[in-house]
Amino acid sequence: MTTPLYYVNAKPHLGHTYTTVVADCLSRFRRMLGDDVCLLTGTDEHGQNIERAAAALEITPKQLADRNAAEYQKLWARLGIEYDQFIRTTESRHYAGAAEVFKRAFDSGAIYKGEYSGWYCISCNLFAPESNTPPNCEVCGRPTERVTEESYFFRLSDFQQALLDHYEKNPKFIMPVSRRNEVVNFVSGGLKDLSISRTSVKWGIPVPGDKNHVIYVWFDALVGYLTGIGFGAENSSEQFHKYWPAQIQLVGKDIIRFHTVYWPAFLMAAGLELPRQVFAHGWWLKDEVKMSKSRGNVIDPHVLLTHFGSDAVRYFLLREVPFGLDGTFSYEAFIQRVNGDLANDYGNLVSRTLTLISKNFGNLMPYPSAIEGRTSLDKEVEATALATVETYQAHMGNLAFSNALESVWELLARANRYLNESAPWALTDNSKERPRLATILYTAAEVIRIATVLLTPVLPQSCRRVWEQLGLKIPLKLQRINEIKWGGLPVGSSLGELSPIFPRLDKKIVIEKILQETGDEATVKDPELERPSTTSHPKSAKIQPVAAPASEPEAGRNGPQEPKITIDDFAKVELRVAQVISAERVPGADKLLKLTVDVGSEVRQILAGIAKAYAPESMVGRKIVIVANLQPRKMRGLESNGMLLAASVGDEGRPVLATFLEDVPNGARLK
Ligand code: MSP
């Protein structure tokens, strides 16, 4: 099983955490079914992306890679990720393997030398989108030049039919089905050969036998899945033969094309087996757009870990959103899950059951009545628990983590209701009722035991604590989910020391504290973040709002595209020319300017997150472009009636206003 290999241009954020938490949960689940799992993760350390990020920090790419690879490892340790292999693409064990795959594909005739041509900005070192006439550079505005670079090409076009055949013969190769259809449509539309080497980039693995070229970073990184388990130039290791092909490769939807089109084609060309399945998940959004460093809207997982602990983070990521779909992060929703699900439903059931056992049975697990002494209610709870084991496994098998957890929560809710219905606390003073009391408490404790086994892949630390409190000595990890039976609690055994597992949090206080610590307040309400931003390319810029770009800048014209919108979609956005009449800062919000603008037929107030780049006085009289039909919204108690357009430039997302070189009347519509 693999996660993607993460770029080391920056520290990990919650989006990266997601793929890895999912992989860890799934591998723990499979281990608890008795499977032998090898979980591979790692870092993707070459390419222009990293070269430039390092240059901006005035350190070498290797120094940056070392720093951020360590950040990933530190984060995985805090999250309790049990990976078996961590491959860094700058390791020597990787170099030999990457060159070998390139060589094999070359020898099979799938790679040829040609020329790569495009509009290039000399000062920014950046290709501009293809067009018939030279476009100006998206970043600095200077004219671009036609540049032709020698490059090795991969004959992707030759693999069209083989790929389509593979998708057809292996209907589960790409999951979920919606993604599969997307890829099939894309490949059916025809494939262009892919440039897989660069002469302008130095930070990479040399093409075997041609030192002027380095291997394209995606080719290099994908091969990391092989080298991480011992694929090499000479004899590949036993481990490689044992674990390749991967059963499942987990990726985000932004990199599905690399994994289901390029990657299988590379493997076919090199005569290697294809992974059994690539499963793509959705994105974590913040303020409606994909969380990413270039947008500045990331959630730092360490902040969550410090305030809530690793199990809460894991639980929220897996429970809140059905796997495959996008999800929105908010602290409110997070704390709601911690308080409602973990503290109330699970934590409370554990604490009230075990406290009653401890007080009434001298801390020993009580003897339940024999079957004939049990009520239909007791039997119903037992049946629900066993049915849950089945439902849970079916959902986990389909990677429907949220549904799997929901089924366990239904069981916990049933057990809580069972306690309320049978009210054991009312029986404690009556010695005649002791057998009944024992049966109720044993039944509830047995539900806790079963639920705890099922929850271990998601909440490994907390479940271990519950396990100890139940007084169980057999290691929890050795429990087999597919062998769960009713009645596994040894009667008469001592409970462990009782203490609350999930403390309840005061939502308001915790959120305030986090926002203060992170200085996130402006971010939460910053209109800048409401718009999709630039590519992750540190120097690129784009007029917004636009569809979010592909994740990998070097993919260039060959990279994946966001789904196209129709002209009707675009027509829904009413873009108009407006002139700024007055501008002032908003007290307490250092990014915001309050503008009064003339839109021709009316005067409006707009709040814009541009105060760090534009002094209020420099705005007066300017012609700007606004989205005129946006729903009004309040920020800092002030109404904003529209949104202005700006390019977001560089790593910091510096806004540069969209404007006109010729005079245009106020209110003119942009079409
Ligand atoms: N280096 C490539 C992968 C090469 S694999 C051989 C890459 N790296 S990445 O760091 O940009 O992204 C890695 C993973 O993090 C992807 O699966 C991506 O989808 C995921 N996420 C990054 N931001 C995300 C969200 N906001 N939400 C969910 N996951 C996203 O791509």
Tell the residue number behind the tokens 């066993």, with chain if given. Answer: 386
pLDDT tens profile 91-115: 999 999 999 999 999 999 999 999 9
Cβ burial of 603 (10 Å; 0-12, 13-18, 19+) is middle
Check pocket membership of 291 for ligand 1, CB cut-off 6 A. Answer: yes
Residue 143 per-residue DSSP state: B
Cβ of residue 19 lying under 6 Å from some atom of ligand 1: yes
Is 85:38 a contact under the CB 8 Å cutoff? yes
Average pLDDT of the segment spanning 42-62:
92
Compute, in angstroms, the gap from residue 546 CA to the centroid of ligand 1: 20
- 5 within ligand 1 shell (Cβ under 6 A): yes
CA distance 394 to 226: 30
C-beta separation of 623 from 659 below 8 A: yes
The whole-angstrom separation of Cα 3 and Cα 278 is 10
For 106-204, where are the E strands, in sequence order? 111-121, 126-128, 145-154, 174-175, 194-195, 197-198
**Residue 206 has what pLDDT?**
96
Decide if 557 contacts 542 (C-beta within 8 A): no
Which residue, judged by its Cα, is nearest atom 19 of ligand 1? 252
Q: Is 283 in the pocket of ligand 1 (CB under 6 A)?
A: yes
User: Comparing 239-253, 260-274, 459-473, 604-618, which segment has the lowest mean pLDDT?
Assistant: 604-618
Of all protein residues, whose CA lies closest to atom 8 belonging to ligand 1?
6
Our answer on whether the CB atom of 16 is closer than 6 Å to any ligand 1 atom is yes
Does ligand 1 come within 6 angstroms of the Cβ of 251? yes
| Cross-strand bridge partners of residue 576 | 626, 669
Contact 286, 297 (CB under 8 A): yes
Sign, CA torsion 222/223/224/229? positive
| CB 85 within 8 Å of CB 1 | no
Task: Count other Cβ atoms within 10 Å, centred on residue 27.
Answer: 22
pLDDT grade for 514, boundaries at 50, 70 and 90: very high
Buried b (16+ CB within 10 A) or exposed e, 65-101: bbebbebbbebbeebbbebebbbbbbbeebbebbbbb
pLDDT at site 601 = 79
The pLDDT value given to residue 543: 31
Q: Give the pLDDT of residue 615.
A: 81
Read off the pLDDT of residues 538-554 as tens digits, 9 standing for 90 and up.
Answer: 333 333 322 222 333 33
Q: Cis (ω within 30 of 0) for the bond into 61?
A: no
Sign of CA dihedral 368, 372, 373, 379: positive
- From 85, 254, 290, the mutation candidate for ligand 1 (largest count of ligand atoms within 8 A of CB) is 254
Q: Please give the Cα distance from 224 to 259 (Å, whole number).
A: 13
Mean pLDDT for the chain?
88
Centroid of ligand 1 to alpha carbon of 517 (angstroms): 26
> pLDDT at position 545, please?
29
Q: Is the pTM of this model over 0.85?
A: no
Residue range 405-432: mean pLDDT, rounded:
96
User: Does the bond joining 245 to the residue before it have cis omega, within 30 degrees of 0?
Assistant: yes
- Can you tell me the distance from the alpha carbon of 65 to that of 10, in angstroms, rounded to the nearest whole number? 9
Q: How long a stretch of residues is the chain?
A: 671
Q: Are strands 575-586 and 589-598 parallel, antiparallel or unpaired?
A: antiparallel
Strand partners, 654: 649
pLDDT in tens, 167-192: 999 999 999 999 999 999 999 999 99
250 CA: nearest ligand 1 atom: 17
- CA of 297 from ligand 1 middle (Å) equals 15
Is residue 557's pLDDT more than 70? no
